[in-house]
Amino acid sequence: MSKVDTWLRHVEERAAEEGPEAVAELESLRERFRFAHMVMSRRRQLGLTQSELANKCGLDQAEISRIECGRANPTLDTLHTLAHALEREVCLSPKRNDASRSSGDGSRAPQRKATPGATKAAARAAKQVGKT
CATH number at residue 25: 1.10.260.40
Assess if residue 101 is contained within a domain: no
Domain that holds residue 82: 1-91
| Closest C-alpha among 48, 46, 39, 91 to residue 70 | 39
What is the DSSP secondary-structure string of 81-110? HHHHHTT--------TT-GGGB-SSSSBPP
What stretches in the chain show pLDDT beneath 50? 100-115, 117-118, 129-132
d(C-alpha 54, C-alpha 28), whole Å: 25
Q: Is residue 57 part of a domain?
A: yes
Quick check: is 45 in a domain? yes
Quote the number of domains for the chain: 1
Closest-CA residue to 85 (of 33, 30, 45) = 45
74 in helix, strand or coil? coil
- Whether 86 maps to a domain, the answer reads yes
Residue 130 to residues 7, 70, 123, 125, 126: CA-CA distances in angstroms? Answer: 11, 12, 12, 10, 8
Please indicate, yes or no, if residue 127 is contained in any of the structural domains. no
Question: What pLDDT, on the 0 to 100 scale, is given for residue 102?
Answer: 43
Which ranges of 19-129 would DSSP assign to H, the alpha helix? 20-45, 50-57, 61-68, 76-85, 116-129
Contacts of 35 (CB under 8 A, 6+ apart): 70
pLDDT value at residue 54: 98
